[in-house]
Amino acid sequence: MNTSEGAIKVAIHRIRKRYRELLRHEIADTVAYPAEVESEIRYLVTVLTSK
């Protein structure tokens, strides 16, 4: 790929940051009040990590 390890790490960091922004935006569109976004994210993480 002719890409350094550092460049790959930076790219991954940027992708993860962008994904968080997009996810937060999508969740904000589904809740009634902006204050509910954090609790909705916590709930989503709980559901996704439970067995």
Does the pLDDT value for residue 22 go beyond 90?
A: yes
| Total tally of structural domains belonging to the chain | 1
R_g over Cα of the chain: 15
pTM assigned to the model:
0.76
Round to whole Å and give the CA distance between 19 and 35: 20
Q: What is the greatest pairwise CA distance in the chain?
A: 47
Rounded average pLDDT over 30-47: 95
Q: How confident is the model at residue 2 (pLDDT cuts 50, 70, 90)?
A: confident
Task: Print the domain residue range for 45.
Answer: 5-49
